[in-house]
Amino acid sequence: MNYLVLGGNGFIGMHLVKALCNEGHDVRMFGRRPVDSESLPENAKYITGDFTDTPAVAQALVGVDVVYHLISTTIPSSSNLDMVADIQANLVSTVRLLQAMVDAGVNKIVFFSSGGTVYGNPDSNPIQESHPLNPICSYGVVKVAIEKYLFLFKQLHGVEYNILRVSNPYGPNQQRFGVQGVIPTFLLKALKNEPISIWGDGSIERDYIYINDLIHVSVSAGKVMHNEIYNISSGIPVSINQIIEVIESITNKKLMINKLPPRNFDVQSIALDNSKAQRHFDWSPAYALREGVSVSWDWLKNNY
């Protein structure tokens, strides 16, 4: 099979590309930053390009069987600062991608949506896929709109899809500290013996998924399109205090904690119900937090 992984050079993308190549597939990667081609698996090829450059994307689609779309040019916390730019770079470019897929006869796509932003403040916990969608950031609204366009392209043009609403992934190779979640950020602080900052008393709970668990189900999601939406998560709410405890135990260091006042927009507890993905993909998360953090710590010590 020929795969195109848009955003193949990011944290999730690199793990996914390796997994697909390990299964013997040919993988084309597309991303903005140049990469060292020596570092890539043998049957992976890298194309440097901008996602808003539709002709470049169309060129990358030629001969592809399945597209993985992992690109976002924005992050939740900054997306509200320029919503129009968010719409232009992500929503418009994705609609153009879908049109280019129709033109190229490519009719399968796995889209990485956002379990952390599309639901907004939860009415219930854990959150099921049918929960109302009331994002409180433009990043989330754009993800919702893309989901709706995927449904529409299925109806109009038969483009098949799986949508993965992923919770907070973590693991080795996660490099954009401070942007991609508390676990890599806290681990780096532990390594550098610097204090961490937390808002409130540390009781706030979120859902973290270890990268190998995410990749496992992502590979399955590229094989059969169900035209469905899935929460991809551990399903387990984990508090900031639990993360600190696990990190202290694994690193054998006492973290210095800088406690800041609680933020009024932080929801107390969110976890995503992943039972639909478990049923449809015959999958379940295999890594406990302690195990995932331990592997991440080993990688960080050897690679920072």
Q: Which residues sit at the interface with a second copy, rule CB under 8 A?
A: 80, 83-84, 87-88, 91-92, 95-96, 99, 120, 130, 132-138, 141, 144-145, 148-149, 151-152, 155-156
Integer Cα distance of 51 and 57 in angstroms = 7
Q: Tell me the closest approach of the beta carbon of residue 31 to a second copy, in angstroms.
A: 23
Q: Tell me the closest approach of the beta carbon of residue 93 to a second copy, in angstroms.
A: 9
Beta strand extents in the chain (DSSP E only): 2-6, 26-31, 44-48, 66-69, 108-114, 160-166, 168-170, 196-199, 205-210, 228-232, 237-239, 257-260
Please identify, using beta-carbon distances, which residue of 85 and 256 lies nearer to a second copy: 85
The catalytic residue positions are 139
**Contact residues for 154 (Cβ-Cβ < 8 A; gap 6+):** 160, 161, 227
Q: Tell me the closest approach of the beta carbon of residue 231 to a second copy, in angstroms.
A: 16
Q: Give me the residues paired with residue 68 across strands.
A: 5, 110
Integer Cα distance of 286 and 290 in angstroms = 12
Q: Tell me the closest approach of the beta carbon of residue 90 to a second copy, in angstroms.
A: 11
Integer Cα distance of 168 and 229 in angstroms = 17
Please identify, using beta-carbon distances, which residue of 36 and 265 lies nearer to a second copy: 265
Give me the amino acid identity at 237: P
- Are 295 and 172 spatial neighbours (Cβ–Cβ below 8 Å)? yes
Integer Cα distance of 106 and 112 in angstroms = 18
Please identify, using beta-carbon distances, which residue of 132 and 158 lies nearer to a second copy: 132
Please identify, using beta-carbon distances, which residue of 157 and 280 lies nearer to a second copy: 157
